[in-house]
Structure 1
């Protein structure tokens, strides 16, 4: 091949390569701010001057950064050139302090250039001591060691001197995958002055029941929120914190979990702070008769244990008594000391004969987690005495009365019974009288109840309407106080009066019968009381929506009357 041809081919290939590079999409990447502060978010923007070959794959960022949010912007034209640009906005947060490389991100065949960013320690604020620690997140337990299946109280406390919006708190996780974790009540909020600076204290409490012995470790809880500029005192704070997403991690807490002691058996293992055992009766057990039926209620209550941990009872047969135990009722109540488990047993008894009956004692073995000792709680025996009317004895005062008189011409043959039949039937007569009295009392109670229902149905409706109007005024008054719990209580009373047919008197149940604006406000109030993942609730919105609902109801009533 001649040399001129080789040179010509080389020039053609070079031109094609240059033209292909000119047609390739150019992608730029910008981090703002750079350097970024550890614990605070920064923006990473990828911008392409044309449509890339494929969607971007941001997995390479996960090694050194947390991806909090990703958003793609619509195509736009710059300087009227007619060339569209495409942008991807990422909200990131550094995992560590130092200098890091933002790797090249593939967009199919196209790639972004790599760049660098510095993650610095938290900035020292130039304003007063108020901003040295504007947000504190701490976690603690009520004990450093306990026994397996015993209650551990875990508390997460958020202390803040600046306002956080879109606040969210991660779930509580432990090293024991089988641990039972129960949230105790709603989120509590209070105000506290620290070094002369007002702080908002948000507290969440959990009851945790470890199922494995060893070291129980609570993973750090993460709180994430967006910092607003309302509390900033200087322009510098506003520039560096306004609109930033802030993430705070709590400290890690560990509790040593001891195994079940050797002196206890698995069947009787019941760790608790305190245990009580009591019974009650549906009637006076000192005045019992044959045929009486009564109900015995036995309540087993344990502080620091769940109702499912409590044992069942057996009720042995007693001669002359019929016992019909009902299914046990299990309840868990939340208290200051944690969970309180209750198990309620109901036993129906029917007395079949006269005499004395002894119901055996009931004992419960349990482990006192406060003293570290095995204890026995006992419900003593119960003595029942019955008295009934049996058959009367034969007449032994006049033995001659049992003889048959002699016959004679002046005497008529008459057969005289040896005993009076009325004595034999006396017992059944009393039983019949008791049954008739019971039927009569039942009929009287039914008539009385029917009359009471009729009076309620025929009662004038002016008073309930007046009460409903009074409750509406209470709701509006409580909304002005901006107190969520008081607003909830007022709304529940109003909802019960407004819709008495509701099977479940709760804020979501009331919201289902309200217009959309009032419905959303009620659901937001309910979420602020029971969920830590929501914004702070605004009482003014409730007042406005409730007023609109009242006016709508009044106008509809006026139209109906016309």
Structure 2
């Protein structure tokens, strides 16, 4: 019995010994440099003499005074003279957010505490590091540090390095109450600094403050890897080392919008207004559409900052305005934004129209004063439509063909005899009345029989052809099919899309018809896209016939056929 208990006791003692061997006894913290320079990276290392989990220490307590990189965690085990020891190490790169005396607080794990570290950050710029021949450093600067609200300024960060840079990432600058957007692509180059040739990578940002006050732009942080020069001298397979650098913070002052500024606030380096008519016109024709295109262009402005325009069209015009289209692009390192205002114009009556001057106030950031972009007033002459009203065929056909000869015969016999005139005229009058009655009775049958043969040569509306025209972006075919729809379904002989628009409610289909009509008169009609018209047509049909779906549209026109 005693012999059986001995192995169990040995196992228990070994377990207790191993637990005591793995127990934690100390926790230490240290930094690789103290004091440090402004913008210089500091490596903090915390070591515990036990095997611990990676999240045993929370470094977020440092966020108030430091920018924190992602920590790296490693564990090791050593066996010396039969005794094993374990350790866990955390390394994290810190970038001080300010100069002066900073404190790295105590860390606690399993009842053990590390000693706090008093860190001194010197107010010395990066040029001190470049004098010593630093392998990598950052330079940050802003084009203008005195701004107005919503004024765009270009912020630039340049990475200088004279070693073999393997990889790296650059964070964005941070500023309270402002939008930050990268402009263009990174630009590579080289520059001589203190007698050392550095390769450079430059990145530009557009910073637009949204409120007034004094602000500080926190510089971006570069985190990457470079080839270790010391290891490269003695080893063909050179090791890499981590490099972390931060640029200098930049202070800016933002002024409020002037109280006396007229209109919507717009601050830019340059603003222009241009006008284009399609087709190009010297006069308008009554009932025929033309398209007016006004382009607002601005330099050093984002596209969402461009305001609306007040065009002030006079009375006597029907207007169909499209949603303004805004876009932006980068030109020679500067942002250029454009907003296009498109309006289809149809004159209702002949005469002379005066388009007033279009004026847009803006604040010139180059001269720091109020400026105006203008479109000159334009006088247009509207000519009457040349189409004449058609003669009513029913009225013309009511007169019988033998009326004129009968009257001439009566007039020729008048001079021969009064007696013959009286009786002959009475007889002819009776015959004329009788033929008129017979003609009147037979005329409805004749007109009622005409529609029976007419449809044989009549081209009917076919919604499948309209769909094909939209899919093929064929503006002329789409117009022809829509006019057939008006004739067959609305019982209206429309000769132009503007007449069909007047018969439709104010829906998206009416707007698409206007765009189609404008495209037909444009020299670029081949660029018309029919998908939007087909979608609006389907929506119009669903509203006109509740309960129908796209798959049942073909049933709306059971008599539709091909040409």
Cα pair distance change 1:139/1:378, threshold 3 Å: same
Please list, as runs of the form range in 1=range in 2, the aligned pairs for 1:353-432 lying within 5 A after superposition.
353-387=349-383, 388-389=385-386, 408-410=411-413
Q: Is the 8 A contact 1:25 1:51 kept in 2?
A: no
Partner of 1:252: 249
Partner of 1:107: 109
Deviation at 1:31, TM superposition (A): 5.5
CA distance in 1, matches of 2:150, 2:252: 13
CA distance in 1, matches of 2:223, 2:380: 64
TM-score (norm: length of structure 2): 0.55
- Give SS of 2:304's match: helix
Partner of 1:321: 317
CA distance in 2, matches of 1:227, 1:48: 31
CA distance in 2, matches of 1:357, 1:99: 75
TM-score (norm: length of structure 1): 0.55
Partner of 2:277: 281
Partner of 2:222: 223
CA distance in 2, matches of 1:249, 1:271: 31
Partner of 1:81: 82
Q: Is the 8 A contact 1:57 1:107 kept in 2?
A: no
Q: Is the 8 A contact 2:167 2:224 kept in 1?
A: yes
Partner of 1:191: 190
CA distance in 2, matches of 1:119, 1:193: 31
CA distance in 2, matches of 1:60, 1:144: 33
Partner of 1:463: none
Deviations, residues 246-294 of structure 1 (Å, cap 9, x unaligned): 33232222233233334314x3322111111011111131264333211
CA distance in 1, matches of 2:233, 2:34: 21
Q: Is the 8 A contact 2:164 2:226 kept in 1?
A: yes
Q: Which is higher, the Rg of structure 1 or of structure 2?
A: 2
CA distance in 2, matches of 1:408, 1:208: 99
Partner of 1:179: 178
Deviation at 1:89, TM superposition (A): 3.5
Q: Is the 8 A contact 1:320 1:353 kept in 2?
A: yes
Q: Is the 8 A contact 1:101 1:114 kept in 2?
A: no
Deviation at 1:230, TM superposition (A): 4.2
- Give SS of 1:408's match: helix
Cα pair distance change 1:150/1:105, threshold 3 Å: closer
Deviation at 1:363, TM superposition (A): 0.9
CA distance in 2, matches of 1:209, 1:180: 5
Partner of 2:546: none
Cα pair distance change 1:154/1:231, threshold 3 Å: farther
Deviation at 1:355, TM superposition (A): 2.9
Deviation at 1:358, TM superposition (A): 2.3
Deviation at 1:231, TM superposition (A): 8.3
Please list, as runs of the form range in 1=range in 2, the aligned pairs for 1:152-551 lying within 5 A after superposition.
152-174=153-175, 177-194=176-193, 197-230=196-229, 243-265=240-262, 267-286=263-282, 288-316=284-312, 318-336=314-332, 338-387=334-383, 388-389=385-386, 408-410=411-413
Report the aligned-residue RMSD: 4.9
- Give SS of 2:411's match: coil
Partner of 2:544: none
Deviation at 1:299, TM superposition (A): 0.4
- Give SS of 1:308's match: helix
Deviation at 1:27, TM superposition (A): 3.7
CA distance in 2, matches of 1:93, 1:47: 20
In the alignment, structure 2 segments of 5+ residues that lack a partner are: 1-18, 124-129, 390-406, 415-424, 430-458, 460-464, 475-563
Cα pair distance change 1:102/1:24, threshold 3 Å: farther
Cα pair distance change 1:405/1:205, threshold 3 Å: farther
Q: Is the 8 A contact 1:273 1:368 kept in 2?
A: yes
Deviation at 1:374, TM superposition (A): 1.5
Deviations, residues 368-424 of structure 1 (Å, cap 9, x unaligned): 1211221222111222224343669xxxxxxxxxxx99963447999xxxxxxxxxx
